[in-house]
Amino acid sequence: MKPRHVIWDWNGTLVDDAWLCVEIVNELLARRGLAPTTPCKYSEVFGFPLRTYYQRVGFDLEREDFAATGDEFNVLYGQRLRECQLREGASKVLTALGRNGIGQSLLSASNEVDLEEMVALYGVRSHFAAVAGVDNGLGEGKIERGHRHLAELNCQSDEVLLVGDTLHDIEVAAALGVHCVLLPSGHQSRRRLELGQCTVVDGLFAVAALLGLKGDIHD
């Protein structure tokens, strides 16, 4: 398939940050005297809504405020963001899609102001016609934001492909009526992704190959 437009997720999909999220959540758990998680366990419990994930990983949200806990996480993430790198092939694949006339944008459950700053930091903002994030720090509202974003694109829904790394991206794609491809990132295990009955590929180069652009990836 060769879509007219690709909507990319950000965290995990284009930036390799699952390892950092594990380290930060373990710091928050340690502050509360709770047992740490592991990358494997994390990939089996992470998901949306984030409130459910926080409870699964060990936080008692009957005793503490979810919004405050989310803010605590976001502060630490912002302090350490520069330790993360783009996923292998990200810049090359984004360039190849643009060279082939495929429009690109971002849709994320991250706060839109923070998202713009992150994308600029990694030097890839010019690849995207638009950057669409939510208006909160709790990962809420990606579907609603997606509807507004899709309405702003000059495309029919069946001309659009969403590339993400969680089962929530399947939910978003279904709600928008667009195609979906997932790639494991560490946020959710491949086993879980395959339960979503969606195409799952191994990385960004595989996304390019799926779109028939493998020969357009250049050093």
Burial class (CB in 10 A: 0-12, 13-18, 19+), 4: middle
CATH code for the domain defined by 5-16+85-216: 3.40.50.1000
pLDDT at 79: 96
Query: Dihedral of CA 158/163/167/168: which sign?
Result: negative
pLDDT tens column, 159-189: 999 999 999 999 999 999 999 999 999 999 9
Q: Where are the beta strands (DSSP E) in the chain?
A: 5-8, 15-16, 85-86, 103-111, 131-134, 160-164, 179-182, 199-200
Ramachandran angles phi, psi of 108, nearest 5°:
-140, 155
Q: Report CA 170 to chain centroid distance, whole Å.
A: 12
Q: Measured in whole angstroms, how far is the alpha carbon of residue 12 from the centre of its chain?
A: 5
Q: Tokens 């994930």 sit at which residue?
A: 53
The answer to whether residue 218 scores a pLDDT higher than 70 is no
User: Is 135 exposed, middle or buried (CB count within 10 Å of its CB: 0-12, 13-18, 19+)?
Assistant: exposed
Q: What six digits make up the tokens of 80?
A: 């350490």
Cβ(183)–Cβ(207) below 8 Å: yes
What's the pTM value of the predicted model, to 2 decimals?
0.95
pLDDT tier for residue 2 given thresholds of 50, 70 and 90: confident
Q: Are 98 and 5 in contact (CB under 8 A)?
A: no
**Residue pLDDT, tens place only, 82-125:** 999 999 999 999 999 999 999 999 999 999 999 999 999 999 99
85-86 and 15-16 beta bridge pairing: antiparallel
At residue 215 the predicted structure's pLDDT band, cuts being 50, 70 and 90, is low
**Tens digits of per-residue pLDDT, 19-75?**
999 999 999 999 999 999 999 999 999 999 999 999 999 999 999 999 999 999 999
Each domain of the chain, given as residue ranges in start order, spans 5-16+85-216, 18-83
